[in-house]
Chains A and B, each alone.
Chain A
């Protein structure tokens, strides 16, 4: 029991479960899942589906944060990759052709990779502070996306593209499988190779790592590149959901949600130790919150305030210091009893 309580995933998971329970109490239909035409429907399924872009972005953000960095440009990269992919499809004579769609996705993601490499170059080679380096693209990226779409919101009709975010496979949303694939790939690369522990070493003590022979530059560079690729895929999923490339709205504020998800999952912003599982829980927590707002019909004007309050509560629940203070207070208030055994 004590072991479970001490586990670092305990409080993040509790926070997520508490949210689900509260939602269910407010409206029991929250946890109901129905089957129509062999496909599952329900609020929880929506969460699995809608969380996919944030999941991809957060996984990339986690790796970057582990190196003591931060990537503010992920939202802008999403906008660029979506714009690239949709422009290719819109300009193609056969938008419903699977080949066209695959090319569009590939090019969109490759462009994102280049943007990630650019970020990594600024941070790892030039030595610009991560927050400044990625701020450049955060601001400039949407301009690039607008340039690609010619200033319009490009819309398309393409069944294969639409399938990405809206299709179903064996009863579950395809986007969920994309999430799973990303989680598994990131976990395998980080934990099955030594990349994870070397990344943590660089994040915890860059100078000691350098002297120990760790190729810190490559590791940091790679982290930003990975973040770029993942944001690129997220941009594809996002545009597939609305079938339009909106350079201004795509991935708006997602960098902030991603940072929040990573931190809720127990990775320190100071860099170092990270957990993939924690980030996954963090993403689901945030997505559950967002659907709570919709589900409870919170007026859109107060939605940000609602979100803020709940986030503060979640963070407080996870705060070790606060829990310690509460425990102490409880002990002080309890009538004094002679202490016998344990």
Chain B
């Protein structure tokens, strides 16, 4: 078995990304969808940091990862506010039942 390299991290990231997408696509609950998005962001972050190290790009990747974390925090706040608003409007947060686009 080869030693741990870039590809290992990338594979972990890819699996995490797919799981995140799966969660976004299939879960009924809006909060579960948000969790899926967090997974996707995390997988992207792993890529950033991994490339930062193995590509020898200095600290740029890490700084970007930091920014992504900040953005994720802001996104989570806004998204939860939206979810609360959805709850007020529909009294549930089941995304599959919210099909206002189809009217």
The judgment on whether A and B are partners is no
Measured CB to CB, the residues of B under 8 A from A are: none
Measured CB to CB, the residues of A under 8 A from B are: none
